[in-house]
């Protein structure tokens, strides 16, 4: 077992899991888990943060945009990083130079953003996949509607977006509530799907984890492939898409050999008709923090 990999995966499932529950899950001493988690957080390779569900924010259209440039991709990447609609921007190796995840409120809003991307100097062409359904995503919590939030909730979310493992005592001091009252509020926000709290790990050639994007074409809309990806530990993200692929997914492994084995396993699934892959050379932006205004929605 790779201690770090399993620890991060546990935190992706529940970013606020206690040290004891993490130790129980990993079968490791509590002190060892505590020390390793402190080290991972201290060196910046792992962050545990809260993300507001896009549905709660009214971001009903999520899209994967691949960008090709006619020169160096750096200037275009910098402009994409500055878009408020992008939560992820990555430099990739493959048919395209950059990929981005865009979140907007409507199809017309998507058209507007795509027009701005096409207008970036040296962008030659773009290709867009619209997410029909998110199969697996640690920062999509599937907001269930009908919840009131107030200024205190907003302040708590703001704090958790900076540090998802902040203690209830520290959170309580920031909003002048008891730790138990804060715990009740945070749990309510999580259970309603307003926020999820998960680990974000640095990925790319300069880091411990390597990441591969994969576009999948299915034989006949095979649900077994989606279910396999949902339960696959090495899959960070997967979504059914509208566009040139039926599913897009992100595979994350600690080595090139492990990525290749994962790709071979995906190719071998009976419902897979074909795949196309692109290597994430460097993740330039991964930021899910958003300002949350006190509102009632339902």
Q: Do the Cβ atoms of 203 and 45 come closer than 8 Å? A: no
Q: Whole-angstrom Cα distance, residue 226 to residue 271?
A: 10
CATH topology of domain 3-43: Arc Repressor Mutant, subunit A (1.10.10)
Q: pTM value?
A: 0.85
What is the reported pLDDT for 82?
95
Looking at the chain, how many residues does it have?
Answer: 298
The residues with which 251 forms a beta bridge, in sequence order, are 212, 235
Model confidence pLDDT, tens digit, residues 159-168: 999 999 999 9
What is the reported pLDDT for 204?
60
Where does the chain hold its CATH 1.10.10.10 domain(s)?
A: 142-199+293-297
CATH topology of domain 142-199+293-297: Arc Repressor Mutant, subunit A (1.10.10)
Rg of the chain over Cα atoms, rounded to whole angstroms, equals 20
Model confidence pLDDT, tens digit, residues 37-77: 999 888 877 889 998 888 888 899 999 999 999 989 999 99
Q: How many other CB atoms sit within 10 Å of the CB of residue 132?
A: 14
What is the reported pLDDT for 296?
47
Q: Do the Cβ atoms of 283 and 99 come closer than 8 Å? A: no
Model confidence pLDDT, tens digit, residues 146-201: 788 899 999 999 999 999 999 999 999 999 999 999 999 999 999 998 999 988 87
Model confidence pLDDT, tens digit, residues 94-103: 999 999 999 9
Q: Whole-angstrom Cα distance, residue 196 to residue 143?
A: 10
């Amino acid at each position: 077992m790779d201690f770090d990999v399993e620890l991060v995966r546990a935190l992706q499932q529940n970013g606020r899991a206690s040290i004891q529950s993490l130790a129980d899950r990993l079968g490791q001493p509590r002190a060892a888990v505590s020390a390793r988690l402190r080290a991972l957080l201290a060196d910046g390779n792992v962050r545990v943060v809260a993300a507001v569900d896009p549905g709660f924010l009214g971001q009903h259209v999520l899209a994967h945009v691949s960008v090709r440039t006619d020169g160096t991709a750096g200037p275009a990447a910098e402009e994409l990083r500055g878009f408020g609609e992008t939560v992820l921007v990555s430099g990739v190796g493959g048919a395209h130079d950059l990929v981005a995840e865009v979140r907007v409120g409507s199809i017309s809003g998507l058209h507007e953003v795509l027009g701005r991307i096409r207008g970036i100097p040296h962008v030659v062409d773009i290709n867009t996949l619209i997410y029909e359904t998110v199969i697996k995503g640690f920062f999509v919590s599937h907001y269930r509607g009908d919840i009131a939030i107030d200024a205190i909730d907003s302040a708590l979310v703001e704090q958790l977006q900076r540090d998802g493992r902040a203690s209830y005592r520290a959170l309580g001091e920031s909003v002048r509530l008891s730790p138990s009252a804060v715990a009740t509020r945070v749990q309510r926000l999580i259970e309603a799907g307003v926020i999820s709290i998960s680990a974000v790990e640095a990925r790319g050639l300069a880091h411990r984890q390597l990441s591969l994007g994969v576009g999948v074409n299915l034989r006949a809309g095979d649900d077994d492939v989606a279910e396999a990806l949902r339960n696959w530990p090495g899959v960070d993200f997967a979504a059914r898409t509208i566009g040139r692929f039926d599913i897009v997914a992100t595979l994350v492994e600690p080595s090139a050999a492990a990525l290749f084995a994962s790709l071979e396993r995906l190719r071998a699934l009976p419902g897979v008709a074909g795949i196309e892959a692109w290597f994430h050379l460097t993740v330039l932006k991964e930021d899910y923090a958003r300002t949350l205004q006190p509102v009632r929605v339902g």
